[in-house]
């Protein structure tokens, strides 16, 4: 049995992408506290690495992105401090994703359960293979979701629909979540990574500073209801991007009828 880990990969066909993979295939890629720490470290390193333009989260094999924390790991926790440490590990993952200045994709094949779904809800884009299923089962074992599920799902669904899904631990298909606006695209299993790769390449062809600014502005909009602060952020980002070399390159390319070459400056 292989050691559960977060695999960190670069692929030559997508040089600006960083691939983070839950790897615990014997347990549907359920994660351990050690894997949670590895994921946080990898996300923090990605934020500081200018060669990384997009981060892609997935699971080893085709059975699951992740089943979240396993029951065996939960059974090891006995004290308040045990649970507090685990909660903090999950919060650090969310904070590391929020701190990224580049888009993050959740690429789901198979099951996306519990903490795996909660982490996916923190990502900017969710692409799923046909037949994938999503579930937040915490209430069945006497818990409320502790990884942001009950906070982030109502931001993407009408609150009463999100409450029903959480209350009854409904297993929902990728196709249903696409219809509801939670999943962006559903692709055939056979062409899944080709389709995701196409989206990665489209992101890598975009002006990096504008993409980073868009992510910052939209994240600010989801956590703040103060329009004055949002307008201040919007003004700063709009003017800053107008001053970039990439903007002037795009204007020149349009006039010259050629494809722009963006350099992130």
pLDDT digit string, tens, across residues 158-208: 999 999 999 999 999 999 999 999 999 999 999 999 999 999 999 999 999
Residue 53's CB: how many other CB atoms inside 10 A? 23
Domain count, the chain: 2
- Do both 123 and 239 map to the same domain? no
- Do both 200 and 227 map to the same domain? no
- Do both 45 and 100 map to the same domain? yes
* Spatial contact of 64 and 116, defined as CB atoms under 8 Å apart: yes
- Do both 136 and 214 map to the same domain? no
CA angle, residues 157, 218, 243, in degrees to nearest 5: 160
Report pLDDT for 1: 54
In a domain, 261, yes or no: no
Q: What percent of the chain has pLDDT over 90?
A: 63
- DSSP lists the bridge partners of residue 8 as 20
In a domain, 116, yes or no: yes
- Do both 173 and 249 map to the same domain? no
Residue 240's CB: how many other CB atoms inside 10 A? 13
pTM attached to this predicted model: 0.91
* Spatial contact of 138 and 149, defined as CB atoms under 8 Å apart: yes
Label residue 161 exposed, middle or buried (CB < 10 Å: 0-12, 13-18, 19+): middle
- Do both 49 and 114 map to the same domain? yes
Half-sphere exposure of 118 (CA within 13 A, CB side): 25
State how far the Cα of 203 lies from the Cα of 209, in Å rounded to an integer.
12
pLDDT along the chain (265 residues), means of 10: 87 95 92 94 96 96 91 83 90 94 96 95 97 94 88 92 94 96 97 97 92 86 74 79 81 83 83
- DSSP lists the bridge partners of residue 31 as 69
- Do both 214 and 121 map to the same domain? no
Strands 54-59 and 104-108: parallel
Report pLDDT for 177: 97
In a domain, 84, yes or no: yes
Report pLDDT for 204: 95
- Do both 54 and 155 map to the same domain? yes
Report pLDDT for 165: 94
Mean pLDDT value across the chain: 91
- Do both 115 and 134 map to the same domain? yes
Label residue 175 exposed, middle or buried (CB < 10 Å: 0-12, 13-18, 19+): middle
Q: Residues 6 or more apart from 181 whose CB is under 8 A from it?
A: 156, 157
- Do both 229 and 133 map to the same domain? no
**Residue 230: domain span:** 208-256
- Do both 231 and 145 map to the same domain? no
State how far the Cα of 99 lies from the Cα of 94, in Å rounded to an integer.
9
- Do both 46 and 126 map to the same domain? yes
């Amino acid at each position: 049995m292989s050691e559960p880990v977060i695999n960190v990969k670069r692929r030559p066909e997508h040089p600006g992408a960083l691939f983070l993979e839950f790897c615990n295939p014997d347990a549907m890629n359920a994660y351990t506290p050690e894997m949670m720490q590895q994921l946080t470290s990898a996300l923090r390193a990605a934020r500081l690495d200018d060669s990384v333009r997009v981060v892609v989260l997935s699971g080893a094999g085709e059975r699951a992105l992740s089943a979240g924390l396993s029951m065996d790991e939960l059974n090891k926790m006995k004290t308040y401090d045990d649970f507090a440490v685990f909660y903090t590990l999950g919060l650090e993952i969310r904070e590391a994703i929020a701190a990224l200045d580049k888009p993050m994709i959740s690429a789901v094949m198979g099951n996306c359960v519990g903490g795996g779904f909660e982490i996916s809800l923190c990502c900017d884009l969710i692409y799923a293979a046909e037949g994938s299923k999503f579930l937040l089962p915490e209430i069945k074992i006497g818990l409320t979701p502790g990884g942001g599920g009950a906070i982030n799902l109502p931001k993407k669904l009408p609150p009463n629909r999100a409450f029903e899904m959480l209350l009854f631990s409904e297993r929902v298909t990728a196709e249903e979540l696409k219809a509801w606006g939670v999943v962006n695209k559903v692709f055939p299993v056979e062409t899944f990574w080709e389709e995701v790769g196409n989206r990665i390449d489209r992101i890598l062809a975009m002006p990096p500073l504008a993409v980073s600014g868009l992510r910052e502005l939209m994240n600010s909009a989801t956590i703040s209801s103060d329009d004055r602060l949002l307008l201040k952020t919007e003004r700063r980002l709009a003017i800053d991007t107008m001053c970039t070399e990439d903007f002037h390159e795009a204007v020149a390319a349009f006039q010259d009828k050629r494809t722009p070459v963006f350099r992130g400056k």
